[in-house]
Structure 1
Amino acid sequence: MQKNTAIIRCGAIGDLISISSAVRSYKENHPDEHITLLCGESCADALRRAPYIDNLITLNDTHLYEGNIFQKFITAVKAAMSIRNCTKCFILHSDFRWELIADLAGIPNKYSLHNNDIKKSRYKIYMEALNGSERNDSKPVFHSESLTLPLYKAPYICIAPGGARNVKSDTPCRKWRGFQTLIELINININIHIVLLGSADDSTGINNEKIIDMCGMTSLSDAYHLINASALFIGNDSGLLHLAACTDTPALGVFTATSPEVVLPAASNVTSLQSPLRCSPCERQGSYKLNCGQECTGSIPPEDVFKKVLKILDM
């Protein structure tokens, strides 16, 4: 008889990429189990082609996070019905309310995420939750589709100046304000092209023959291929930074309100710069000090980031 196991993880693209290595390890350890991943529609592309997931089911996360009480209830019931044939469920959320979906589905064996160590890497927490122990091979994995855009032959850097915005929340305190100045510094001092990535709202508006603005024009797979072929990726704590961690491309993460030790995998190609303010990082399990002046978003001088770029590029 086939063993059916459900894994529940919603949130953002980075959240799904963060569980990729843990789910892959679980499948390797339990090849006879049929793995169903229940996630939000807005971030499903992060693991849509993962070969270690047998069935990917999406729920309407817009209704779940922003809908009225009726929409939230209907979404939860539909989610529960979609995994009712499972006998085991891993809920990779610390919020106990996610357990209600497993309860509604009548799943007899459920395992919730109750690790409240706010300083521990989330990659390690997920690995421990699914596999019982931490492993060193925590590098995230992304399985892409074929590239639909031409790759640039000239050397280029990928920069994602936005992010930190998804169906669940918009956290401007995670967005560094120095990207426009950094782009100008790179443009003036380094003979290299710049490819801008992100949503249409992330465009900087800078017009230059060396700057290629692809904001709002790429799929997640296209962004992966562009980053993978680039000389360097630079971005905030965002889904695209997690995507860059799946490649072998050197990446530089600029952290304001969150901690790279918590967010990034241990075995990573990502270098980070952290805000020097005493109050940073202020993030605690998804909550931020939003009533402050958000000085952390401007606390890292663009010149310091540029020096880091030169060091990574060995210039």
Structure 2
Amino acid sequence: MQGILIIAPNWIGDAVMTQPLLARLKAQYPSSKIDVLASTWVAPIYRACAEVNEIIEAKFEHKQLQWGLRKQLAKELQVKNYQACFVLPNSFKSALIPWLANIPFRIGYRGEFRYGLINLSFDNPSKVNRPPMVEHYLALSQLLKDDEVNPPSELTPKLNVSSLAKQSVEQKLALADINPKALLVFCPGAEYGPTKRWPTNHFAELTRNLVEQNADAQIVLLGGSSDHELAQNIVLQSGNNPHLHNWCGNTSLDEAIALIGIAKAVVSNDSGLMHIAAALKTPQVAIFGSSDPAHTPPLSEKAKVIWLNLPCSPCHKKICPLGHLRCLNDILPPQVLATLNTLQ
């Protein structure tokens, strides 16, 4: 198997959880070149994966077919003569490119009228009995195997920090007069919605508590540009604490990976940045609300999960259907601080 193409998921956390699949494929086919077709916003995850040969970036847009772009990409990919393609998103449109590119083995989960486009497939697991996402992706490697037993797989994703990104963030930290040895990272956003976001006033109180405990602490708020206003609320509610820095929207994802990699600890919601922290083995506290830590846990021995496991959760709703959001409101800053203090 000389050439393998991966059609990457569209979410950062999901992309992180595909890394063990890449490692398994590299172990099964050591001489293969694994390329990844990814949207521009998840491409940095694959730049941090040692198994990847080439990343083909595409400006995919959510919920858009972009037929012309997909035909053009298929034409460009056809000349590379891939033997197999793993289509990791479940959508119809994600399966079009490898079919148009005439890649012989097109592997993925069934769904959304993909019959024919995918020719080696598994049924999608039910929403009630879903396996952890790493295992969900890893299972696809079984569809290509010969009679040989699959090599053992590491179920914890592993990312590498690029030297270029590390150099960039070290310069930014120096300009902001932040000592890297005193750096903590807060990730207050979650693209999914409010039921995954720990309240901003709780983050603000945690900031005050941390600075009272350690006057040298420096806290950087990380996230995308859509998280900037949310993070600014934390800054205001903390009393414009000089130890708190809102960098949401002011770093690339490559730089965010590097910052998380050098941080002493991370406090995050269930988000893509949570999975990045786990893959970098940075000590972390992961706060869960409406989602299920059994399905998407931070896969690291240095991660501590806080989840109240209320009777109403996990509801997987974007807005609390009961209107009280107790699953997050009732996780108080002293509990998070105490958990943070147990991290090694």
TM-score range, shorter chain: 0.7 to 0.9
Equivalent position of 2:195 in the other structure: 173
**Who is 1:158 aligned against?**
185
Change (3 A) 1:49 1:119: closer
Q: Which amino acid in 1 is paired with 2:15? A: L
Deviation sequence 1:67-116 (CA, Å, 0-9, x none): 4x5xx322332343343332311111234553333322222222113341
Residue of 197, 206, 211 corresponding to 2:222 = 197
The share of aligned pairs that are identical, in percent, is 25
Q: 1:82 to 1:299 in 2, by over 3 A?
A: farther
Contact 2:169 2:258 in 1 (8 A): no
Paired position in structure 1 for 2:141: 130
Are 1:79 and 1:101, in contact at CA under 8 Å, matched by a contact in 2? yes
When normalised by structure 1's length, the TM-score is 0.83
Distance 1:311 1:109 in 2: 48
3-state SS of 1:112 partner: strand
**TM-score normalised per structure 2:** 0.76
1:244: Cα distance to partner?
Answer: 0.7
3-state DSSP of counterpart to 2:141: helix
Deviation at 1:18, TM superposition (A): 1.1
Q: CA deviation at 1:234?
A: 0.6
Q: Which residue in the other structure is 1:42 paired with?
A: 41
Which blocks of at least 5 consecutive residues in structure 1 are unaligned? none
Match of 1:186 among 204, 210, 222: 210
- What per-residue deviation string (whole Å, max 9, x for no partner) do you get for residues 15-62 of structure 1? 211111220221132122222211111211111253422221122222
Q: Distance in 1 between matches of 2:103 and 2:337?
A: 52
Cα offset for 1:255?
A: 0.9
The DSSP-based 3-state class of the residue aligned with 2:30 is coil
Cα 1:273–1:134 change in 2 (3 A) is farther
Aligned to 1:116, which of 118, 125, 130? 125
Choose which of 74, 83, 86 in structure 1 pairs with 2:77: 83
What root-mean-square deviation, in Å, do the aligned CA atoms of Structure 1 and Structure 2 show?
Answer: 2.7
Alignment of 1:1-315 (within 5 A): 3-62=2-61, 65-67=62-64, 72-84=66-78, 85-113=81-109, 114-116=123-125, 118-130=129-141, 135=152, 137-145=154-162, 146=164, 147=166, 148-150=168-170, 152-162=179-189, 164-165=190-191, 170-177=192-199, 178-191=202-215, 192-200=217-225, 201=228, 202-203=230-231, 204-206=234-236, 207-264=240-297, 266-283=299-316, 288=317, 290=319, 292=321, 293=323, 295=325, 296-312=327-343
CA shift for structure 1 position 134:
8.8
Give the conservation status (yes or no) of the 8 Å contact 1:9–1:91: yes
Q: Using the alignment, how far apart are the partners of 2:318 and 2:193 within structure 1?
A: 10
User: Separation in 1 of the partners of 2:181 and 2:86?
Assistant: 45
Deviation at 1:299, TM superposition (A): 3.9
CA distance in 1, matches of 2:288, 2:100: 39
